[in-house]
Amino acid sequence: MEKLVKLTIDGVSVEVPAGTTVLEAAKKAGINIPTLCYLKDINQIGACRMCIVDTGARAFGAACVLPVSEGMNVKTNTPKLRAARKINLELLLSNHDKRCLDCARNQKCELQQMCIDLGVEDVDKFKGKINEYDIDDLSPSIVRNNNKCILCRRCVAACNNTQAVGVIGPMGRGFKTQIRSPWDQPLNDVACINCGQCIAACPTGALYEKDSTKAVWNLLADETKHVVVQPAPAVRAALGEEFGIPMGTSVTGKLAAALRRLGFEKVFDTDWGADLTILEEGTEFIGRLTNKGVLPMITSCSPGWIKFCETYYPDFIPNLSSCKSPHEMEGAMIKSYWAEKEGIDPKDIRVVSVMPCTAKKFEAKRPELSHNGMPDVDEVITTRELARMIKEAGIDFVNLPDEDFDPVLGESTGAGVIFGATGGVMEAALRTVYEKVTGETLKDVNFTAVRGTEGIKEATVKVGDLDVNVAVAHGTANAAKLLDSVRSGEKTYHFIEVMGCPGGCVTGGGQPIVSAQKRMECDPKQLRAAALYNEDANKPERKSHDNPSIMALYKDYLGEPNSHLAHELLHTTYTKRPKYTK
């Protein structure tokens, strides 16, 4: 039986399991303790000293690492505590670039909000020498501005622990300490996988995505170009948060309407590309399964995961599906199939993808993802960047009427929608693979065994006479554990889904920022995924091979899945990458 501990926090009696921290116990009691370096399940190091509490000991303790004890009497809001926190905050500001108006995190900065909450008025109280660092903007995905860094190490924990990449860490000592990459190299020259989880973890503007909004505005202003847009499945599950809509609300109709008002000629949907991916990937898997091909086959939709595999697990490159990711497939179809139908020269088409993922910016620049000298996708903006564009255009997003995506490349099934959640690609594939192999109609299309936020999920699915062993991993640290078990022979699978970000695309590095305090109250992975599964459940068609526009594509253009033309346009190759370029 779980041992419970009784304590008092600010006069409130609390009973929590042994091992609970004071910070967690206070949250349960409805008492808010300020934090900066703390990030639930990622960083608990007690470094910033903002969460200090008084337990009657000789010194204040950091609530995020202080375990509860029987009879403990905790005070969180005394004059001495408030004064100490305020001094700690003023000291942080003494070596901080305080230009907030032009900062990417203005009004979404935890440091800024804490200054407001604690009533900091003199931001130069401890004015003195300030470190000045060059901004690292060489990466196609991530910009690092150490002038905004407060050394909380949340980004370090995300990179090292959640993602098992470990290309950033503290260097130097004392006043000269900064977060850098080995040998002081820029992010672009180390084995960064561009996932952006460091951005999602950062409480300030020290890390942010490489801005592409100016390039997109310029495209929209160019009357000689046909500018087409496609948003990813996960975008609709999070965009509303940027406009005050509750987390877990799908804003599909408003998303389509807003994109149309920004001036895009056609508003297509990457969900269509996801359905197309299932036809190609499912056929590839069936071929490998029945013809003794390389198994397990591993999904290839997540560019952060692909780069991780190419860099850290290159022996698994033959296991990767040769399929391009959904938005790259859709981009290829826009510049071939749609261009031909509309009688437009592909050279005059520009494709913009709205993605929850900063690694998609890197992916779009891969030379392999092009045809006839033209990239499949020209520009990638994140969910956050789209929100900024909508605000800049003065669009009243909350009150927009719902609109549909444009036909042909905007029609999708429920299978395409769930691509945004961990396990969604696997479930979508199983819906199609089962019916293609058995010739039978699924009585229940819900493969719930591969759903959920457990780091690694396993299942055995009966497909006709075959027992198909599948696994799902999200976050590259979990992917590494899974691949290690396959490499050692401990585990045997036929099909593996890997998503580079924890929770899948719904919590990608380009999604709306969720503060540390908000993460203590809810789980964005679950809420955003639920929005996608609800949309799936309400779709008239829930299997990719039942998408009539996809079937028309094969009938009129590609011939059949995995045909020669399909391989030419929809498949690619992968290459072993060095861990360091210098």
Count of structural domains, the chain: 3
Domain edge (last residue) among 52, 77, 92: 92
Q: Catalytic positions, please? A: 281, 284, 301, 321, 360, 363, 368, 505
Mark residue 578 as left, alpha or beta (left: phi above 0; alpha: psi -120 to 50; beta: remaining): beta
Asked whether 390 and 258 are in contact (CB, 8 A), the reply is: yes
Query: Is the confidence at residue 27, as pLDDT, over 90?
Result: yes
Same domain, 202 and 249: no
Per-residue pLDDT for 510 more than 70?
yes
The answer to whether residues 473 and 482 touch, using CB atoms and an 8 Å cutoff, is: yes
pLDDT tens-digit series, residues 531-562: 999 999 999 999 999 999 999 999 999 999 99
Q: Does the bond joining 296 to the residue before it have cis omega, within 30 degrees of 0? A: yes
Same domain, 153 and 85: no
Same domain, 204 and 222: no
Together in a domain, 377 and 469: yes
What's 81's domain CATH number? 3.10.20.740
Q: What pLDDT, on a 0 to 100 scale, did the predictor assign at position 582?
A: 54
In a domain, 110, yes or no: no
**Distance between CA atoms of residues 449 and 47, nearest Å:** 39
pLDDT at 467: 95
Give the Cα separation of 544 and 553 in Å (integer): 13
Does the residue 109 lie in any domain? no
CATH of the domain at 279: 3.40.50.1780
Distance CA 218, CA 524 (A): 33
**pLDDT tier at 314 (50, 70, 90 boundaries)?**
very high
Query: If you average pLDDT over every residue of the chain, what do you get?
Result: 97
Percentage of the chain exceeding pLDDT 90: 97
Domain annotation covers residue 126: yes
Pick from 166, 187, 209: which residue ends a domain?
209
The count of C-alpha atoms lying within 13 angstroms of the C-alpha of 96, restricted to the half-sphere facing its C-beta, is: 26
pLDDT band at 581 (very low <50, low <70, confident <90, very high): low
Cα separation of 354 and 331, whole Å? Answer: 12
What is the spatial distance between Cα 518 and Cα 113, in angstroms, rounded to a whole number? 13
Domain co-membership, 279 together with 135 = no
Is residue 12 domain-shared with residue 143, that is, in the same domain? no
Tell me how far CA of residue 176 lies from CA of 180, 182, 189, 353, 379, in angstroms: 12, 16, 23, 40, 37
Average pLDDT over residues 483-492: 98
Report pLDDT for 495. Answer: 98
CATH number for the domain spanning 142: value is 3.30.70.20
Query: Taking residues 48-55, what's their average pLDDT?
Result: 97
Apex CA 52: angle with CA 47 and CA 56, to 5°?
Answer: 130
Half-sphere exposure of 232 (CA within 13 A, CB side): 33
pTM of the model: 0.96
Does 234 share its domain with 325? yes
**112 falls within a domain:** no
- pLDDT value of position 579: 82
Residue 289 has pLDDT above 60, yes or no: yes
Please state the separation of Cα 83 from the chain's center in Å: 38
Same domain, 194 and 294: no
- In angstroms, the CA 113 to CA 208 distance is 18
β-pair partners for 43: 39
Task: Write the burial class of residue 343 (CB in 10 Å: 0-12 exposed, 13-18 middle, 19+ buried).
Answer: exposed
Q: Where among 180, 209, 238 does a domain terminate? A: 209
Q: Which two tokens stand for residue 261?
A: 């008002």
- Look at residue 114 and tell me if it is in a domain: no
Residues 202 and 221 in one domain: no
Assess whether 355 and 462 both reside in one domain. Answer: yes
Query: Among 482, 418, 136, which Cα is nearest to 274's?
Result: 418
Q: Are 481 and 473 in contact, with CB atoms under 8 Å apart?
A: yes
Domain range for 386: 214-570
Same domain for 198 and 278? Answer: no
pLDDT band at 2 (very low <50, low <70, confident <90, very high): confident
* % of the chain beyond a pLDDT of 70: 99
Asked if residue 302 and residue 163 are part of one domain, the reply reads no
The yes-or-no verdict on residue 580 having pLDDT over 80 is no
138 assigned to some structural domain: yes
Instruction: With beta carbons less than 8 A apart as the criterion, state whether 353 and 324 touch.
Output: no
Residue 473 within any structural domain of the chain: yes
Report pLDDT digits (tens) over 559-572.
999 999 999 999 99
pLDDT tens readout for residues 58-78:
999 999 999 999 999 999 999
Strand pairing of 379-382 and 374-375?
unpaired
Q: Is residue 313 part of a domain?
A: yes
**How confident is the model over 418-425, as a mean pLDDT?**
98
Nearest to 167 by CA among 507, 529, 577, 552: 577
